């Protein structure tokens, strides 16, 4: 019984950590622009697919992974430069629609550049399952959890200790005030796309050995990441992480103990319930919008 | 949107010159080409099926034309990408019939696309060979509709027979949300009693799910389970197989013919070892005994496809090969492209040896395959092997 619980928990944490990374990407862009970037899932896909094709070309992971992350970041920057920035004066809804268009475009492009097949990435450090308290976990899951943890630490250092990070944070709190004190908010928006694309790509690379990847893998992961961000409170870093983990664990627990047929439904019922009683999510900026 | 003719390989200008010469010399090439219509899911969720189908049709239309065509006429392929969307499939079927005026339609990657096109095809009275799996396509029999792939019912039967021979009587099912998964699960649940097999657990997973360990843990802890069956296609079964290995479950794992391609083994990696599934002979072409009637066809198709596209064959491309050949053979036997005669000729197909099996059509059977068309395969050493 407890071994079973342990298995569900470990699985939930692994899945949840990926949701958290995707959710963080949503939050960073939301903070900088109040735009929900629906192309976030595509960054996840680009990370995974680029690593697959680079390592198939013979590059070692140590080279392929940074290159893939850089490629995704470039795509993110280009998206901001060529699609979002020209529409700067437009309403938030218009911008969101632009990101939806971009996601369809990127997906189509990936289908042409790569192919329509599913690809598996080799695990970073072998496939021998590790037993923990009667449950088993793949070494790759430890990578997922470890890297997610490291990224959360790095991000909190970035936003709390560096000038650029503080500038981004300031922009999220009050765009006009930030502009008045000399922060280049356009640069902040530009960089936020690069940063969240890189985060998405890392998520895509970490998960690819476990789940396989393909040109349309971003659709579902993007949706789940969005749900996690909403659950945690859009724009909140800690909220994104907690939201992701809660969603992951809720999914596996309900698949394990209740019914796998209603797994997704149960996860979304939890989200609805949270939003009903706490409209801005678990860690959202309560009441801030009402002023 | 593509149309293929042998002359494409000559280049446009050359082709025009060649055509002029042909006209001057009064050769048969001057005749109208025989138009083969196709709507396939070349992109979208069923792309891993539609893509090899499209390639196979292009390849073999070229080869047939290079060998002189059919009845002295060239073949012309008119193909549209329906992206797995039934609504698009319907539109393209309409265009093939009304605008392109095709002589026969080969296509419909998925069951949904096929079913959407059937009313149009029946009304227009055009022979139609579907490449989709579900049994509803040919049951009840529709006058103008045929199909090449094995049905999910046959897959269930083949698997249950294999289970019986291994003295397995209690199994667990785990399946995904797709139409194929649901249909095969339902067929298996109808048939299991006949083979004395109890389904003691019945789990499902979602479309974009990245992990099935929770469901498999539940199955692992269900008392009495002797084997697990996973009807499905796409990446789901690969993840199920990986998680199966991760959890160290030692029970036999059965997959469906929906993952019968090399891709599955690549995706699932070492965990795929020992997995069994019913599949077409074409997957094990090289290890078929010389006495096997399908060996020549299977090896021929494999070599032609792999040398041209540098990628592994799948059963799906084989279905397209069979569909095209059934139509071409029927046109030859009918001696014309008269639609009613071609239809009758397809229905009269006997002993056609294809990649999917030996086809014997009849007025009551528009698929013409029996259980011998399926081989029980097992993954060994990263490759498909025949189970004796």
Compute, in degrees rounded to 10, the torsion defined by CA atoms A121, A122, A123, A128.
130
CA-nearest of A49, A28, A276 to A155 is: A28
- Residues in B closer than 8 angstroms to A120, CB to CB, are 238, 266-269
Cα–Cα distance, B112 to B88 (Å, whole number): 11
CA-nearest of B124, B361, B134 to B258 is: B134
Q: Do B181 and B266 lie in a common domain? A: yes
- Residues in A closer than 8 angstroms to B241, CB to CB, are none
B383 within some domain: no
The DSSP letter of residue B103 is: S
B288 within some domain: no
Q: Got the DSSP string for B128-170?
A: EEE----GGGTSS--TTEEE-SPPHHHHHHHHHHHHHHTT--E
* Chain B 98-117, residues with CB within 8 Å of chain A CB atoms: none
User: What are A191's two structure tokens?
Assistant: 């960089």
Which helix (H) or strand (E) segment holds residue B200: the answer is strand B198-204
Q: Do B10 and B143 lie in a common domain? A: yes
Q: Do B222 and B99 lie in a common domain? A: no
List the single best residue of B42, B203, B215, B235 to mutate versus A (max A Cβ within 10 A): B235
Q: Kindly give the confidence (pLDDT) of every residue in chain A, 291 residues in length, as a single tens digit, with 9 standing for 90 and above.
A: 578 888 889 989 999 999 999 999 999 998 888 888 999 999 999 999 999 999 989 899 899 999 999 999 999 999 999 988 888 788 888 988 999 999 999 999 998 888 877 888 888 888 888 888 788 888 898 999 999 999 999 999 998 899 999 998 888 888 889 889 888 888 988 999 999 999 999 999 999 988 888 888 888 889 889 989 988 888 888 899 999 999 999 988 888 888 777 777 877 888 788 888 887 888 876 544 443
Domain housing B167: 152-274
* Segment A137-154, tens digit of pLDDT: 888 989 999 999 999 999
Q: Do B82 and B177 lie in a common domain? A: no
Q: Do B145 and B157 lie in a common domain? A: no
Total domains in the fold of chain B = 2
Do the chains contact at B213 and A18, CB–CB below 8 Å? no
Q: Do B182 and B303 lie in a common domain? A: no
pLDDT value for B16: 53
Q: Do B260 and B361 lie in a common domain? A: no
Do the chains contact at B217 and A8, CB–CB below 8 Å? yes
List the single best residue of A3, A11, A130 to mutate versus B (max B Cβ within 10 A): A11
- Residues in B closer than 8 angstroms to A224, CB to CB, are 208
Minimum distance, in Å, between the CA of residue A181 and any CA atom of chain B: 45
pLDDT value for B228: 95
State whether ipTM is beyond 0.90.
no
Cα–Cα distance, B148 to B130 (Å, whole number): 7
Beta bridge partners of B377: B277, B386
Cα–Cα distance, A77 to A197 (Å, whole number): 8
CB neighbours of residue A38 within 10 Å: 22
CA-nearest of A126, A97, A49, A253 to B245 is: A126
B387 within some domain: no
pLDDT value for A120: 84
B107 within some domain: yes
Cα–Cα distance, B34 to B324 (Å, whole number): 12
Residue at a domain's end among B220, B242, B274: B274
Q: Do B251 and B196 lie in a common domain? A: yes
Q: Do B202 and B338 lie in a common domain? A: no
B266 within some domain: yes
Q: Is A207 on the interface with B (CB under 8 A)?
A: yes
Cα–Cα distance, B123 to B121 (Å, whole number): 5
Q: Do B156 and B146 lie in a common domain? A: no
Residue at a domain's end among B216, B239, B274: B274
Using DSSP bridges, classify how beta strands B128-130 and B145-147 pair: parallel, antiparallel or unpaired: parallel
**pTM to 2 decimal places:** 0.77
For A13, the closest chain B residue by CA position comes to: B211
List the single best residue of A117, A225, A249, A262 to mutate versus B (max B Cβ within 10 A): A117
Q: Is B214 on the interface with A (CB under 8 A)?
A: yes
Q: Do B262 and B302 lie in a common domain? A: no
pLDDT value for A63: 92
B379 within some domain: no
User: What are A219's two structure tokens?
Assistant: 């659709």
User: What are A24's two structure tokens?
Assistant: 């963080």
For B261, the closest chain A residue by CA position comes to: A117
B97 within some domain: yes
The Cα diameter of chain B in Å comes to: 79
Q: Is A142 on the interface with B (CB under 8 A)?
A: no
- Residues in A closer than 8 angstroms to B205, CB to CB, are 255, 260, 263
Residue numbers in chain B where pLDDT is lower than 50: 1-2, 4-11, 22-29
pLDDT value for A75: 95
Tally of CA atoms within 13 A in the half-sphere of B175 that contains its CB: 23
CATH number at residue B263: 3.40.50.2300
B188 within some domain: yes
Cβ neighbours of residue B130 closer than 8 Å, sequence gap 6 or more: B107, B108, B114, B137, B145, B146, B147, B148, B323
Which helix (H) or strand (E) segment holds residue A56: the answer is helix A40-56
* Segment A106-121, tens digit of pLDDT: 999 998 888 877 888 8
Using DSSP bridges, classify how beta strands B358-359 and A130-132 pair: parallel, antiparallel or unpaired: unpaired
pLDDT value for B189: 93
Cα–Cα distance, A230 to A244 (Å, whole number): 10
Cα–Cα distance, B240 to B269 (Å, whole number): 12
Q: Is A290 on the interface with B (CB under 8 A)?
A: no
Q: What are the φ/ψ torsions at residue A91 (nearest 5 degrees)?
A: -70, 165
- Residues in B closer than 8 angstroms to A136, CB to CB, are 246-248
CA-nearest of B383, B360, B297, B378 to B146 is: B360
Q: Do B69 and B130 lie in a common domain? A: yes
Beta bridge partners of A136: A131
């Amino acid at each position: 019984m407890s071994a079973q619980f342990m298995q569900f928990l470990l699985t939930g944490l692994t899945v949840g950590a990926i949701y958290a990374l995707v959710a963080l990407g949503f939050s960073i862009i939301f903070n900088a622009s109040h735009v929900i970037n629906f192309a976030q899932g595509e960054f996840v896909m680009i990370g995974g697919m680029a690593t697959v094709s680079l390592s198939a070309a013979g590059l070692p992971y140590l080279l392929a992974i940074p290159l893939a992350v850089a490629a995704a970041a470039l795509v993110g920057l280009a998206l901001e430069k060529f699609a979002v920035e020209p529409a700067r004066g437009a309403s938030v809804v218009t911008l969101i629609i632009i990101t939806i268009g971009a996601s369809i475009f990127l997906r189509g492009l990936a289908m042409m550049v790569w192919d329509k097949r599913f690809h598996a990435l080799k695990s970073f450090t072998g496939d021998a399952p590790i037993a923990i308290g009667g449950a088993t976990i793949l070494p790759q899951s430890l990578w997922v959890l470890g890297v997610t943890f490291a990224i959360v630490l790095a991000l909190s250092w970035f936003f709390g200790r560096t000038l650029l990070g503080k500038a981004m944070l300031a922009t999220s709190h009050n765009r006009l005030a930030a502009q008045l004190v000399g922060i280049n908010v356009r640069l902040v928006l530009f960089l936020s796309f690069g940063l969240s694309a890189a985060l998405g790509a890392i998520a895509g690379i970490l998960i690819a050995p476990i789940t396989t990847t393909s040109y349309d893998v971003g659709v579902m992961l993007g949706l789940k990441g969005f749900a996690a961000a909403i659950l945690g409170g859009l724009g909140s870093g800690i909220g994104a992480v907690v939201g992701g983990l809660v969603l992951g664990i809720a999914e596996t627990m309900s698949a394990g103990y209740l019914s796998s047929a209603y797994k997704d439904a149960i996860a979304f019922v939890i989200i609805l319930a949270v939003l009903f009683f706490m409209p801005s999510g678990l860690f959202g900026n309560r009441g801030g919008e009402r002023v | 949107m593509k149309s293929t003719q042998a002359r494409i390989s000559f280049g446009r200008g050359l082709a025009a010159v060649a055509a002029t010469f042909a006209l001057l010399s009064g050769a048969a090439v001057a005749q109208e080409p025989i138009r083969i219509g196709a709507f396939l899911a070349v992109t979208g969720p069923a792309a891993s099926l539609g893509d090899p189908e499209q390639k196979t049709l292009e390849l073999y239309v070229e080869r047939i034309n290079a060998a002189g065509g059919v009845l002295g006429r060239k073949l012309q392929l008119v193909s549209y990408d329906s992206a797995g969307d039934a609504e698009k499939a319907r539109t393209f079927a309409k265009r093939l019939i009304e605008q392109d005026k095709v002589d026969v339609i080969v296509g419909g990657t998925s069951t949904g696309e096929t079913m959407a096109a059937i009313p149009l095809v029946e009304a227009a009275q055009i022979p139609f060979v579907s490449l989709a799996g579900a049994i509803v396509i040919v049951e009840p029999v529709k006058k103008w509709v045929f199909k090449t792939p094995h049905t999910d019912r046959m897959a269930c039967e083949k698997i249950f027979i294999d289970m019986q021979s291994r003295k397995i009587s209690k199994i667990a099912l785990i399946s995904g949300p797709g139409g194929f998964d649901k249909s095969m699960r339902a067929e298996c649940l109808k048939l299991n009693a006949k083979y004395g097999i109890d389904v003691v657990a019945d789990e499902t997973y979602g479309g974009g799910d990245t992990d099935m360990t929770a469901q498999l843990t539940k199955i692992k802890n269900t008392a009495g389970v002797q084997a697990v069956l996973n009807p499905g296609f796409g990446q789901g079964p690969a993840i199920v197989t990986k998680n199966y290995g991760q959890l160290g479950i030692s029970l036999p794992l059965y997959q469906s013919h929906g993952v019968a391609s090399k891709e599955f083994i690549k995706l699932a990696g070492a965990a795929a070892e020992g997995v069994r599934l019913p599949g077409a002979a074409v997957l094990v072409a090289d290890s078929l005994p010389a006495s096997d009637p399908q060996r020549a066809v299977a090896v021929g198709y494999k070599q032609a496809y792999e040398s041209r596209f540098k990628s592994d064959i799948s059963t799906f491309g084989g279905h397209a090969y069979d569909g095209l050949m059934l139509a071409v053979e029927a046109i030859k036997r009918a001696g014309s492209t008269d639609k009613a005669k071609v239809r009758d000729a397809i229905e009269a197909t006997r002993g056609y040896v294809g990649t999917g099996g030996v086809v014997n059509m009849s007025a009551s059977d528009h698929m013409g395959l029996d259980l011998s068309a399926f081989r029980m395969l097992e993954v060994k050493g990263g490759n498909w092997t025949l189970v004796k």
